[in-house]
Structure 1
Amino acid sequence: MPDKQALALRAYRLGCYAGSRPKDKKAQRRALVAMKDFLAAATPDELRILASLSGETIEETKRQHEESLRAIDERLVNL
């Protein structure tokens, strides 16, 4: 099981770096892959907790989670 804190920190750092270099396609790709790794590591229990905190249904939270993963895939294809 991946270390969630390490995945979150990597996604944050790469996202900050990519945000400061919008024309750097390699940096953008690395940040998106890190975000996808972090989102993909979410467990069903974590999604349930997120749903309860946001006041949404579990199904809605799962749908948004899947949409986020698809959106990242689309952005990776378009880079």
Structure 2
Amino acid sequence: YKHILGVPVRYMDMESVDSQFYKSLVMLLENDIHEWDLGLTFSLDAFEFGENKVIELIPNGSTTIVTNDE
């Protein structure tokens, strides 16, 4: 509802919507992700219209590793 009202939405707002997702966000923010070697990239795997697709969130996102700096 905040977005509809033009109020900035913050990650803390997710706690009341999806507590497990919120806990995952907090864990990522509070820890050095390099220690876990999660293999995260700036891309999403999606299933659209019966086929798998890779959606890049930034140019070359599927080959850009997520770091604490980016």
Same fold (TM over 0.5): no
Indicate the structure with greater strand content. Answer: 2
TM-score normalized by structure 1?
A: 0.29
TM-score normalized by structure 2?
A: 0.31
Indicate the structure with greater helix content. Answer: 1
